[in-house]
């Protein structure tokens, strides 16, 4: 494995880690949404006391507005999935190690075998 292939594998692993980082907030948002649907009253999923900065209600009787958080979470999920798509397989690629004479598993001749035995006895 040459240096270019090693650099590519390292870059794909970094991309995959960044993809997982982008997927954390959407997953937490989906969990909070499910807890809210089920009527959980915990601090993690309570959405009854949203401030005006989240609902864009800056004036009295202005009617409010929509939060952009679902759009950001959706974009983060798409980017995370795109980055993970090609990078996950590189976590399972093993780097080639240089062969040593004892592990090359090549058949040897009788002369090479006898020489290896004699060298082993002399040491």
Taking residue 79's Cβ as centre, other Cβ atoms within 10 Å add up to 15
Three-state SS at 48: coil
The answer to the question of residue 104 being in a domain is no
The answer to the question of residue 103 being in a domain is no
Whole-model pTM: value is 0.58
Q: How big is the CA angle at 23 (ends 22 and 28), to the nearest 5 degrees?
A: 120
Q: What was the pLDDT predicted at 48? A: 58
The answer to the question of residue 54 being in a domain is yes
Q: What was the pLDDT predicted at 69? A: 78
The answer to the question of residue 55 being in a domain is yes
The answer to the question of residue 51 being in a domain is yes
Domain total of the chain: 1
The answer to the question of residue 78 being in a domain is yes
The answer to the question of residue 122 being in a domain is no
- Give the domain range for residue 64: 3-95
The answer to the question of residue 77 being in a domain is yes
Dist CA 67 CA 81 (whole Å): 23
Q: How big is the CA angle at 28 (ends 22 and 34), to the nearest 5 degrees?
A: 140
Tens-binned pLDDT, residue by residue, of the chain (123 aa): 788 888 888 899 999 999 999 999 999 888 887 877 777 666 655 555 555 545 555 556 655 566 777 888 899 999 999 999 888 888 888 766 655 555 556 677 788 878 877 776 554
């Amino acid at each position: 494995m040459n240096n270019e292939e090693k650099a590519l594998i390292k870059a794909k692993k970094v991309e995959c880690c960044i993809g997982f980082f982008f997927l954390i907030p959407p997953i937490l948002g989906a969990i909070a949404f499910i807890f809210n649907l089920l009527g959980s009253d915990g601090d993690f999923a309570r959405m009854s006391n949203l401030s005006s900065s989240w609902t864009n209600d800056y004036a009295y009787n202005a009617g409010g507005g929509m939060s952009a958080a679902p759009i950001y979470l959706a974009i983060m999920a798409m980017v995370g999935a795109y980055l993970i798509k090609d990078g996950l397989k590189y976590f399972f690629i093993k780097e080639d190690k240089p062969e040593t004479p004892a592990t090359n598993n090549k058949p040897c001749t009788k002369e090479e075998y006898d020489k290896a035995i004699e060298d082993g006895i002399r040491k």
